[in-house]
Amino acid sequence: MSDPKAKILIVEDSSSMINYIRSGLENEGYNILLARNGIEAIKVMENSVPDLIISDIIMPEMGGMELRNYMQNNYRLNLIPFIFLTVKTEFNDKIKGLEAGADDYITKPFKTEELLAIIRARLNRYKLLGDLIKYDKLTGLYNRRELEERLADDLNRARRYKKILTIAMLDIDHFKNVNDTYGHMTGDIVLKHVAAKCKEEIRDVDYAGRTGGEEFVIVMPETVKEHGLLAVNRIRLAVSRMSIGESQIKVTISGGIASAPEDSLNLEDLLSFADMALYRAKDAGRNNVKKYESVWSKV
């Protein structure tokens, strides 16, 4: 059986073809999303980004080629494996499909076994590529680029739908002393443990990234500043209770909190405000968390 968490979006206007494809994929444990054309597919992906897309080419309102072109210009969608499944059998049609960025071009009729084999291969490759592009190699958290792009997406959603979110910027206190005393390899072990604790303590809807050195950012959608403060203090306490490695190293973290739209809906400003609050926490003696106050920017 396949990974039951893998989501496949079928973009097809034929009910009989949808049923045929869906039956084969669900038997393999895939979760299925459906759209009748490219416009519906875009709406589906606003709420649930699939792991792979199977699309017809000729559909009403927006066809498969237009959908693929749209995805090519969207960072969240342009790497998703994309398979054209179509009755267009001409060689030139296949060339156009592959030049549009499709990973495969399958003509109807086809055998389910062929489609499933291609899906497995593309999903495996997508996971490997995603791990290289999206994640920090040391900690397994999102890297800075991926985190900021996801945060920008969430801020756009907050602006459009009047949602709230809170971010936290965290920093390991006196981390240079760890490296100087125990060496950089041990410092890396500390970073891994702190990152794992952050990931363990946050909710499924939250996400965390390593933005450089010993600095981390946590994004908490649908969370007001006060609740974000409580959550980050819980992480701070959990980190302070750890004893890491053979040397039983103890570390603490400091944090700064900022929220949207209360403080800003601008990515750079929000990160800057969280950073400002972090430095207030450092100045206050470390091992604590401060929330950004708008009066600071007026001083």
List active site positions. 214
1-25 as b/e: b if 16+ CB within 10 A: ebeeebbbbbbbbeeebbebbbebb
Cα 190 from Cα 175, distance rounded (Å): 9
What torsion do the CA atoms of 26, 32, 35, 39 make, to the nearest 10 degrees? -150
Of 50, 60, 112, 57, whose CA–CA distance to 85 is shortest?
A: 57
